[in-house]
Amino acid sequence: MSNSPDVLASYRRAGQASADAAGDVIEGHVAGTAAAFFDVDNTIMRGASIFHLAVGLARRNYFSGREVWGFGVKQLRFVLSGSENLEDMASATTAALAFVEGRRVDELLELGEEIFDDSMVDKLIPGSLALAQGHLDAGEEVWLVTATPVEVARLLARRLGLTGALGTVSEIEDGAYTGRLVGPPLHGLAKAEAVRALAEREGLDLSQCWAYSDSANDIPMLSAVGNPVAVNPDPTLRAHARDNDWRIRDFSRREQVKRIALPALSAATGLAAGLAVGYAVARTRRK
């Protein structure tokens, strides 16, 4: 994807929006100049968090089966094309957001609490949680950074006892989703921009900060801090980490990440949700 001025401005807008939507530091977390930033999917949690969320929503009849079936087919074609063009991403995400247009945020969060308990707790990665706890014990903030909707990301951070979260920001009016995003999904360069914006807001010194991820897509975020760590990294990130003398953490087989074999873009909010829901509906129809 070309890093044209317009594209970079779009990522900066998404990053700033995510930092603005991150909310206040959770009570009891003492702000300092160092913090740790954790990717979620396959770093904190096995698989894609938005996949688990969307399947849980589908099972709770949050979506219409007829709408999802047609949308899932369209999104599958998009994923298989492998496109990471910004306009293609925006188009796919806009189509996916139609599913939550007009739905209330508090409704999604209430269901999200249930889905966390039912479908996410058993997918948490103990080794990564231990790393996060180590930073908390050292008096450092710990933030999640994910393409998942920021409201859900903040829910995850709260349930895990972390400082807060950066996530994809959707427009909200009168407590309901409008069906539009504020900038692109928090993916790739947008994550790095969000970390920089949050660091400025919180008075963090990025040279003292840490970042953790399993994916080469997060190299921009990892490069933004003084202490990048590759956690059970994919081959591209492992090679990059070795070339740049970054720390690499490989957990035991029991704690190894079980990857969902989808392109990087599938982690983006709307697309993964569409695929996940289509998958859930397809399974339901086969039963």
The pLDDT tens digits for 54-75 are 778 878 888 765 555 555 545 5
97 pLDDT exceeds 50?
A: yes
Could you tell me which of 257, 229, 231 has the C-alpha nearest to residue 245?
A: 229
pLDDT for 34: 94
Tens of pLDDT, residues 121-134: 999 999 999 999 99
Q: For residue 115, is pLDDT > 60? A: yes
For range 214-228, the mean pLDDT: 96
Q: How confident is the model at residue 244 (pLDDT cuts 50, 70, 90)?
A: very high
Q: Are 138 and 35 in contact (CB under 8 A)?
A: no
**pTM greater than 0.85:** no
The pLDDT mean for the chain works out to 78
Give the residue with greater pLDDT, 68 vs 209: 209
Q: Which of 6, 20, 24, 39 is catalytic?
A: 39
Question: Structural domain boundaries of the chain?
Answer: 5-286
Give all strands (DSSP E) within 26-140, no chain letters.
35-39
The verdict on whether 245 is a catalytic residue reads no
Determine the Cα–Cα distance for residues 16 and 12; give it in Å rounded to an integer.
6
Of the candidates 6, 20, 24, 41, the residue annotated as catalytic is 41
Q: Which pLDDT score is estimated for 252?
A: 59
Q: Which helix (H) or strand (E) holds 248?
A: strand 247-249
The superfamily in CATH containing domain 5-286 is HAD superfamily/HAD-like (3.40.50.1000)
Annotated active-site residue 41? The verdict is yes
